[in-house]
Chains A and B, each alone.
Chain A
Amino acid sequence: MSHAGDRSPAATLTLLDATMVGIGAMIGAGIFVLTGLAVETAGPAAIAVFALNGGVTTFTALSYAELASAIPRNGGGYAYVREVFSAPVAFVMGWTRWFTYMIAGALYALGFSSNFIEFGHIFGVDLPGGVLFWAATVVVVFVTLNAVSTAASGSAETVITLVKILILVVFVAFGLQFVDLGEFQPFFRRGDPLTILPAMGLTFIAFQGYDLIATVTEEVEDPERNIPRAIILSVVTTVVVYLLVVFVALGTLGAEGLSGAGETAIAQAAEGFMPTFPVIGTGAALIAFGAVFSTISALNAVVIGSSRVAFAMGREAQLPRRLGRLHHRFGTPFVAIVVSAVVMLVAVAVVPIRVVGNLASLFSLLGFTIVNLSVIRLRRQQPDLRRPFEVPYYPATPILGIVLNLLLGAFIDLTTWLLALGWLAFGAVVYVALSRRERDRMPEPPETGEPEISEPEVTISTED
């Protein structure tokens, strides 16, 4: 017998919740995992790297805000591009967005496990198993959680993100007084300002989480106003937090110390100046805890993000349709989550962390270029479309977005480009195969009769 549904529907998100969805996906990776790598590449100029990346990403964030206010669809950047461009372009967008989320998941998982092991060290515990073991474990745990429950989003995420921000605020508050401006000399590594560009490419991934807000639009209250606000607020907040944290880390530990510390750079900086807290122990323990906590919640966010993109593509038959179905019992895009998880695990196992960062950044840059193009094309195609939020200084803003995104992409190394092209080529094969299959499935269109638009009611039965 059918009975009334008992699975709770998705929560309604306020402006604060929606903003925290974006911040949650951004803060976590960039700051804890990539600070060390950025300093290694660019020296103290890493702070300029974060500032400039914030500027670059703002152009795209404005484009996102305009599209999200005008096009009421879940599915993020992919859904907007699908609205504006032909199928192959939309496929490239979805394919790269999907991959970005999965690879970002791998990055966060690796960041988590380094910090988790470090966390153990602080308390004098040697955790068994290596970095890979813990990275794979955390992916499996969070994928399982998301596969069987839709309760992952909502106010719990808001609290978690606020805690993340709070820990970083504590870090900054204690650290500011110990900052030695001498550590910023010489500003550029080897005196070469151009080292900034590859470092920007490497860390760009830390600035792309606001895309996730665009995948939950229909759950946000008063969406046409709140989504543009949430996107912009989350970018601004994130950039401010990044700059403060990087400033303190550089000013206290110095460029040499940071680049040596890799993924645990911030925790090591904290060790230098943080006082001892009751219960938690040293300041380094607090930061290591923050890093573990942040990478976990960022990982959770991208697991949701990747499955939503795959789900949207499955609905449009741009990926196998099975990915576009909800699980009959859990109500989650089960197949989409599992497939995403498998790719994430492979990335964790075989790709080194620096390449992972580069690859995710490159795909973000390509995807964001298409998003900016969409704004321009939509303005031309549909001049009378209602746009509750409009990009200021159009067309300069999206054009600058495109140019800067491509410029950063150009400074990412050749290996990454080759890997990226490989993934795109694989995508092309999938695309061609799928459109063949779709064509075979489609019966010949009837010569006379009217198109069939009365489809049977979709009954979601909860029968056991």
Chain B
Amino acid sequence: MTESLRVIVAGGGDVGLRTAELLDDRGHDVVLIERDPDQSERVAAEYVASIIEGDASRPAVLRQAQPDRCDAIAALTDSESTNFAICMAAQRMADLHTVMRIDGDPDELYPQYVDGTVSTASLTARVAVNEVVGGGVRSIEEVGGKVEILEVEVAPDAPAAGKTLAEVRFPRGSLIIVDAEGQRIGGPETELTPGERFLVAVESAVTDEVMNLLRG
């Protein structure tokens, strides 16, 4: 169903504003909370969200965004502890999906308390690596901090090029999921045709090995 969501975005910096814009583009309703009047004026000029001016970690401010009517909250300020506090307070006020932005190493117990974490550092790093390394390998998603989903183009002179999966022995901790067109799930008869792209899930310990096999 194309029902629109109501989302609270806490923090109207670059990340918060861009998030609000993307949500608005997709037809969702956004309430943004921002402490700094100058910054909130900048957000207001975009006309993508109604704006509460105040500190989102204060319950009296957060409550004005009406969490009980919202489907999700994204705490995106540049302070990890503030974001955590905001998510906790919002959960106490209503049953909604919580997402927090983290900047350092994620605490391993976060998943027990919030529904989603977004690490700006690792997101930026991944995109940076894609840009630096360029064609052939693109990082798609990081799962749980250790496993990465990559899109890899099989290089013509790579060791595994032209072989089937049955012939190549990939290291434990890696999995060819599907070819990038989404046509076939990888099976023993799947041929690693040079020039074709595959989605590969790899644990970080064996990434270099898999790269060697597929890229040469």
- A residues contacting B by CB (< 8 A) are 70-73, 83, 217-218, 222-224, 315, 317, 381-386, 388, 450-451, 453, 455, 458
Using known A-B contacts A223-B47, A453-B71, determine if residue A385 contacts B97 with beta carbons closer than 8 Å. no
Most buried by B among A217, A381, A451, A458: A451
Which residues in B have their C-beta under 8 angstroms from that of A388? 44
Question: Would A224 and B40 be within 8 Å (CB), given that A382-B52, A384-B52, A453-B71 are in contact?
Answer: no
Q: Which residues of B contact A218 (CB under 8 A)?
A: 47
Q: Which B residues are in CB contact (< 8 Å) with A83?
A: 50
- Quick check: A317 and B26 within 8 Å, CB to CB? no
With A386-B52, A453-B97 as given contacts, are A315 and B4 in contact (CB-CB < 8 Å)? yes
Known pairs A315-B4, A384-B61; A72 contacts B47 (CB<8 A): yes
Residues of B within 8 A of A (CB): 1-5, 24, 26-27, 29, 40, 44-45, 47-54, 61, 64-66, 71-72, 95-97, 115
Other-chain contact of A72, B5, B49, B64, B72 (Cβ < 8 Å): B49
**Residues of chain A within 8 A of B54, CB atoms compared:** 384
Q: Which of B1, B44, B48 contacts A386 (CB 8 A)?
A: B44
| B50 and A224 form a contact (CB under 8 A) | no
Task: Write the chain B residue with the least CB distance to A82.
Answer: B29
CB <8 Å contact, B115 and A450:
yes
Shortest distance from the beta carbon of B69 to any chain A beta carbon, whole Å? 9
A-B contact pairs, 6 of them (CB 8 A): A217-B47, A218-B47, A224-B47, A385-B53, A455-B1, A455-B5
Contact between B50 and A386 (Cβ–Cβ < 8 Å)? yes
A458 to B3 alpha-carbon distance, docked (Å): 11
B96-A384 in contact (CB<8A): no
Q: Are B52 and A453 interface neighbours, CB within 8 A?
A: no
Is A224 within 8 A of B64, CB to CB?
no
Report Cα–Cα, A450/B95, bound state, in Å.
10
Which residues in B have their C-beta under 8 angstroms from that of A70? 50-51
- 8 Å CB contact of B45 from A73, A217, A222, A383: A222
Q: Which residue of B lies closest to A217 (CB)?
A: B47
Top 4 closest pairs, chain A to chain B, by CB: A386-B51, A382-B64, A384-B54, A72-B47
The closest CB in chain B to the CB of A218 belongs to: B47
Q: How far is the CB of B108 from chain A (nearest CB, A)?
A: 19
**A224→B43 CA distance, assembly (Å):** 11
Q: A451-B96, A453-B72, A453-B97 are in contact. Are A385 and B49 (CB under 8 A)?
A: no
Interface pair A383/B64, CB less than 8 Å apart:
yes
Residue in A317, A381, A450, A453 whose beta carbon sits within 8 Å of that of B5 in the complex: A453
Minimum distance in angstroms from A67 CB to a CB of chain B = 10
The interface residues of chain A lying within 8 Å CB-to-CB of B5 are 453, 455
Are A381 and B51 touching (Cβ within 8 A)? no
Instruction: State the Cβ distance, A407 to closest chain B Cβ, in Å.
Output: 32
Min Cβ gap B191→A in Å is: 28
CB proximity of A91 to chain B, nearest CB, Å: 16
Q: Which residues of B contact A317 (CB under 8 A)?
A: 3
Report yes or no: B29 in contact with A73, Cβ–Cβ below 8 A.
yes
The CA-CA distance from A453 to B49 in the complex, in Å, is 19
A224-B44, A451-B97 known; A385-B51 Cβ under 8 A: yes
Q: Specify which of B44, B47, B64, B65 lies most central, judged by the most chain A CB atoms within 10 Å of its CB.
A: B47
